Structure 1
Amino acid sequence: MGENKLVLLPSPAVGHIITMVEMGKLLFRRHSDTSAAHFSITILLPGPASAPAVDACIKSVEASGLDIEFRRLPRVDPPTDNDGPEDFTSLLMQKLMPHVKYAVADIQRLSAAPVAALIVDFFATGALDFTRELGVPCYVYFTTSAAFLALMLYLPTLHENFPMEFEEMEEAVHIPGVCPILPLSMPAPFMSKKSGRYTCFVHHGRRFCELDGIIINTFAELQPETLRAVEKGLCVPGRWMPPVFPVGPVLASHVDGGGASNGRLRRHECLAWLDEQPAGSVVFLCFGSRGSFEAAQVAEMAKGLERSGHRFLWALRVASLKEAELVMRQPEEPSRLEEVLPKGFTERTKGRGMVLASWAPQADILAHLAVRGFVTHCGWNSCLESLWFGVPMLGWPLYAEQHLNAVVMAEDIGWDNLKAF
């Protein structure tokens, strides 16, 4: 039994679960380098969240021998009255809080060691309602960029000072430490202040000042000015700013160029296909666990890829599920591809193109020498993986904070700054 116990609580979104697990593994690696003291981690899995990427991640941890265990929380009825995936996730995590409290208290009761900290997803600040009672410090793990953290912290101030809708503002939105953001590039959930999607972010932004600390998936060399502004409290005027701990980039540590973890996991078929392609010849298109397109869009994208003459690997999802449902599971509809792709497309592009209708091992693909470009939704995990492997990005932001990420990557970070490290 570990001398200290950490409890981690991700939200049910695929990207949030994986990066939380990887952050736990990172804590193990860094802690073992600096201290002989031992600790163990319990990761609380919310509800029925399951996807191939999550399953592969869990199997990788279980095969690693690390002192990390998974505990699935009881299922709760998903909220039916919500304004979209962010509001859905926030309400779902709040409904789970009694079970989270019981799990943390149970871990304390069964363990000879205290729970040193509860680290929660940024949609789960409701844990602050009971952590003081249990005597457990509460931290948030912020899975996206320092720019979005600055915006969330500053959002209550913006809300008070600018009551109009962002799209009605005539000038750019100014956030301490962040380049000016055009109103239409603000995160999609913020575009209607009457929606639950917006008010849940205002709520969580206020509660961040009650935390014992904020752990964030970025690093000082990538976003120095933004992190300085956040740490100095410029984003929370008149309020206390908890300490910030940049621990990024948090990437899938099982990546070894072969797409398997020490040979224990089956190598994805697309990697064998990439092995047959010339170095630097393939463009990879992937839009995250929730990124999907209508049939008409898919048809136009297919025509463009076919006419380009270039090699491509396309992870494609077709819109069909309600947006909130995509938080709970990762859609896989291979049978629908034939319905939306142009007739004969697969045959005409055979040999130089491959379409995946299910989960793709994104980090392994970006690490492959055959891949030269990445068409991405600009999710933060994708941005970090692309930077890590040196693959140029073409941004196609779709939802959440992805428009903000695209602006920050182009304006705040930029190629000149990237060359510095």
Structure 2
Amino acid sequence: MEGTIVLYPLMSIGHLVSMVELAKLIFRQYHQRLSVTILITSGPVVSPNATAYLSRVSETIPFITFHHLPSVTIASSIEPSFNRSRAAILSELVRLNNPNLLHTLHTMSKTSTIRALVMDIFCAPAASIVSSDLGIPTYCYNPAGTIFLSFLLYLPTIHHQTTKSFKDLAMTHLDFPGLPPILATHMPASALNREEQGYHWILEISSSLRKSKGIIVNTFESLESRAIKAITDGLCIPDAPTPPVYCIGPLISSPINHTVEGESVNQIHQCLSWLDAQPNQSVVFLCFGSGGVFSTAQVREIAVGLEKSGQRFLWVLRKPLSEDNNKHFSVEQGDPDLDVLLPEGFLDRTQDRGLVVKVWAPQVEVLSRESVSGFVTHCGWNSVLEAVCAGVPMVAWPLYAEQHMNRAVLVEEMKLAMPMEESEDGLVSAMEIEKRVRALIESEEGRVFRERSRKMKKEAMAAWSEGGSALLAFTKLVDSWISPCQLG
């Protein structure tokens, strides 16, 4: 064994799953030369489904070592406004974990050669400390695609072009290299207010990315060719060299053991067997990630729209968070009461063509079913890649994080998705839902989207074939870890 690769993920389910898939990839390709250790943190923003997922993979993947860092606590003296910001809490947890991270890496270095530390982009501010104190090469892993990476790298440039917060630039479109113009108010929530701690943390992440040994991205060249070229040509960092960028995707969740706490095995089998009983290319799948939630009013609009569409559907429904149509993120679990949430008689009237699943469905398996013809998605990057790999067209309904940016590219450049349009109060009407679902299944436009999606599926498979862009990038990445010039 020539050494160890240490991975340092963010304990959010989408980030954690992607990092575990990276660990599996390293093992599959280089298990005779490299071992893999994943560092696990704890804290108030760790979601229950991330904890449940970690428990399962720890038991079923013996070739990965999971090392738990000591728990840290955020001081009660931190001002209330800071505590209300999830981004600010994350930044504080990363800072508090730095001593634990350094101690763990120092201890590991006594018995193994650490070839590289691969950090989630949201942990990137710790990279400079590791490099200066221990001399370990640090790389940043971006599970969210090149769209988000372009935003992060170019943010300091925009920051110096204006004194206003993005939230105050209504109807203003911003130009990021390699991306279509995007509304300023569609930036990630943590970046909307430059007076808040979260915004300055994002700036700190951008600075750390620029100093890393390399940036690893879960994407592939033919999917995001324009954005990748803009970054590698140096357009996103006009005043300094751009670190090497390694596009090694698509890395998507393995079908086995990607489950959440409290989930019923019978529900999974019912979901997949129901799909297998439906005609080919007849079902619309609606799922909004591990954190996506809607108001009760929005849930009812979805139900009415689905019923009026007359189409077959599989709908994953989570318990509403609040009655605010603009609040869409929650890590809380809990079964939704379908009898209370859905219109009276809805389940009976649609029982021959629809299925409502509580909380979670095995998304990779669902999208691979021949009966699934379209996917109404929140545009989380993992979901986008899973749809691409399955060759399934999308209806883009972004809810939080960088998802509005993803929608702009999916709709305007990739042309793999139709947009779901919302009203000024944040509500998407039943009429709009009916319109998009019908178009996806019945229209010529939907047929064109399906054909384009099938072609992109082939491109995704080609990325990891012999001579493919992802395989070449990954080989180059690992060479940078184990080549003599990187030792010491």
- Tell me how far 1:212 sits from its aligned partner: 1.2
- Structure 2 distance, partners of 1:259, 1:203, is 32
What is the CA deviation profile of residues 79-116 of structure 1, one whole-angstrom value per residue up to 9, with x for unaligned ones? 7624533333222222222222222222223x3x2111
* Structure 1 residues 371 and 163: alpha-carbon distance in aligned structure 2, compared to 1, 3 A threshold: same
**What are the ranges of 5 or more consecutive residues in structure 1 without an aligned counterpart?**
none
1:43 to 33, 38, 50: 38
Task: Write the mapping of 1:107-186 to structure 2, written as runs, cut at 5 A.
Answer: 107-109=108-110, 111=111, 113-132=112-131, 133-166=133-166, 167-168=168-169, 171-186=172-187
- Tell me how far 1:169 sits from its aligned partner: 6.7
Paired residues, number = 404
- Structure 2 distance, partners of 1:359, 1:170, is 36
- Structure 2 distance, partners of 1:272, 1:94, is 47
What is the CA deviation profile of residues 167-225 of structure 1, one whole-angstrom value per residue up to 9, with x for unaligned ones? 52765311122222233433333332222332221121112112111101111111122
Aligned partner letter, 1:115: I
- Tell me how far 1:281 sits from its aligned partner: 1.6
- Structure 2 distance, partners of 1:43, 1:59, is 14
1:353 aligns with 354
After superposition, the CA RMSD in angstroms is 2.9
SS at match of 1:161: coil
Contact 1:83 1:196 in 2 (8 A): no
* Structure 1 residues 160 and 83: alpha-carbon distance in aligned structure 2, compared to 1, 3 A threshold: farther
SS at match of 2:193: coil
Aligned partner letter, 2:37: T
Contact 1:333 1:357 in 2 (8 A): no
2:64 aligns with 68
* Structure 1 residues 221 and 362: alpha-carbon distance in aligned structure 2, compared to 1, 3 A threshold: same
Task: Write the mapping of 1:226-375 to structure 2, written as runs, cut at 5 A.
Answer: 226-254=227-255, 268-269=268-269, 270-320=271-321, 330-375=331-376
Aligned partner letter, 1:128: A
- Structure 1 distance, partners of 2:258, 2:349, is 28
Aligned partner letter, 2:36: I
- Structure 1 distance, partners of 2:363, 2:50, is 10
What is the CA deviation profile of residues 252-272 of structure 1, one whole-angstrom value per residue up to 9, with x for unaligned ones? 2346xx999xxxx96823112
1:377 aligns with 378
* Structure 1 residues 91 and 259: alpha-carbon distance in aligned structure 2, compared to 1, 3 A threshold: closer
- Tell me how far 1:18 sits from its aligned partner: 0.4
What is the CA deviation profile of residues 230-273 of structure 1, one whole-angstrom value per residue up to 9, with x for unaligned ones? 12222112223211111111112346xx999xxxx968231122
Q: Which has the bigger relative contact order, CA under 8 A and spacing at least 6?
A: 1
* Structure 1 residues 52 and 190: alpha-carbon distance in aligned structure 2, compared to 1, 3 A threshold: closer
- Structure 2 distance, partners of 1:187, 1:335, is 28
SS at match of 2:280: coil
Contact 1:18 1:54 in 2 (8 A): no
SS at match of 1:404: helix
- Structure 2 distance, partners of 1:199, 1:341, is 42
SS at match of 1:334: coil
- Tell me how far 1:77 sits from its aligned partner: 2.4
